[in-house]
Amino acid sequence: MVTLAEVAQHAGVSASTVSYVLSGKRSISTNTRQRVEESIRELGYHPNAGARALASSRSNIIALMVPLRTDMYVPVMMEIAIAVATTARAHGYDVLLLTGEEGPDAVRRVAGSGLADGMILMDVELEDERLPLLRGGDTPGGTRPGVRADQPAVLIGLPADTSGLTCVDLDFRATGALCVEHLAKLGHRDIAVIGEAPAVYERHTGFAERTLDGLRSGAREAGVRLLHRPCEGGYDAMALTLARILDERPGTTGFVVQNESAVEPLLALLRQQGRAVPEDVSVVAVCPEQVAVQASVRLTSVAIPAQEMGRYAVEHLVAKLDGRDGDEVVLIAPELTVRASSGPAPSRA
């Protein structure tokens, strides 16, 4: 491996000069800079990451913690991960991939070892075990002294208590409200919500509950009836859930679907039962754009802006690492796109 010293020798300057050329932290004459750059190119020099991290106590690595489970939103997760990696590179960072598996220990390990300069957490639960370790500022009596990692971090998702934390997320509350509002305006009075898998609610994943909140308060405001049912993905689960819903509320004409793997099954089932979309029933989905346009009926939907979330998360984290930015909660405003799956409620029989 080529070292800094070799580059320096080749260029006829000292090692520190080469270092300053690389970092730009001191002014260098144009002449010297060019000679050094030429040597770097010629020798194919790459700075050694470990040495750099040791000397500067900055690793230029961001840790990204993705959920281990794949029971929800896999494409969204993937898209976020890729956006994070891409954006991070653009800012000179690499991304370390952690799975939720290790839980809080991963936070301790990464923070303690200086492996990463900061972290981004996905799939945050309302009372997440990892949060006490991340909370900046003062959490009086909250953490045992010496245990605080105080790792710069950004969450994708919203916990119950966001004090001392930076979070980025779609405003799922507004999303829920928006969906109901859309259907209510079209005259639907009985709306069913196909939610995420029961397990998602059980572990108190913030976005699911917040969406529900929004749906409920939207319904209250618009004076429509709302029936919420969790649903595993897949055809069979959807069939069962739909049957129950129509049994309980035969007059249901509006559906809000949050579970992306229930979308296509729902459409197939409705078709099979002779209920036309959007003539007889309307469907609004909360899902990535791609799912909405690729479905068998182009779906009216609120997009989940995965890329944007990943990008914002990195940008806020980098700002924090540069000391440019404090704690903050960024909620992305939802946008509802009307497509072919929603229309006026049928006139009452």
Partner DNA sequence: CCCTTTCGTCGAAGCGCTTCGACAGCTGTA
Partner DNA sequence: TACAGCTGTCGAAGCGCTTCGACGAAAGGG
- How many Cβ atoms sit within 10 Å of the Cβ of residue 178? 22
Torsion of CA 228, 229, 235, 240, to 10 degrees: -120
Does 9 bind DNA (CB under 7 A)? Our answer is no
Does 40 bind DNA (CB under 7 A)? Our answer is no
Q: Give the integer Cα–Cα distance in Å for 215 and 211.
A: 6
Candidate list 9, 37, 43, 52; residue touching DNA; CB under 7 A: 52
Class of residue 166 by CB neighbours under 10 A (exposed 0-12, middle 13-18, buried 19+): buried
Residue 26 makes CB contacts below 8 A (sequence gap 6+) with 20
Candidate list 38, 41, 54, 337; residue touching DNA; CB under 7 A: 54
Q: How far is the CB of 158 from a copy of itself (least distance, A)?
A: 23
Candidate list 13, 36, 40, 95; residue touching a copy of itself; CB under 8 A: 95
Q: What phi and psi, each to the nearest 5 degrees, are found at residue 11?
A: -90, -5
| Stretch 181-220: interaction string toward DNA, x if CB under 7 A | ----------------------------------------
Residue closer to a copy of itself, measured from CB, 112 or 137: 112
Nearest in space to 114 (alpha carbons), one of 43, 181, 63: 63
Stretch of 12-20, 200-208, 228-236, 309-317 contacting DNA, by CB under 7 A: 12-20
Stretch of 5-13, 67-75, 129-137, 155-163 contacting a copy of itself, by CB under 8 A: 67-75
Handedness of CA 317, 323, 329, 335 (dihedral sign): negative
Asked if residues 283 and 269 have their Cβ atoms less than 8 Å apart, the reply is: no
Identify what 27 binds: a copy of itself, DNA, none; CB under 5 to 8 Å per kind. DNA
Does 20 bind DNA (CB under 7 A)? Our answer is yes
Q: Give the integer Cα–Cα distance in Å for 106 and 51.
A: 23
Identify what 157 binds: a copy of itself, DNA, none; CB under 5 to 8 Å per kind. none
Nearest in space to 9 (alpha carbons), one of 40, 54, 30: 40
Binding site for DNA (CB under 7 A): 1, 3-5, 12-17, 19-20, 22-23, 25-29, 31-33, 45, 47-48, 51-52, 54-57
Binding site for a copy of itself (CB under 8 A): 1-2, 44-54, 57, 59, 61, 64, 66, 68, 70, 74-75, 77-79, 81-82, 85-86, 89, 94-99, 101-102, 108-109, 112-115, 146-147, 233-235, 261, 264-265, 267-268, 271-272, 293-296
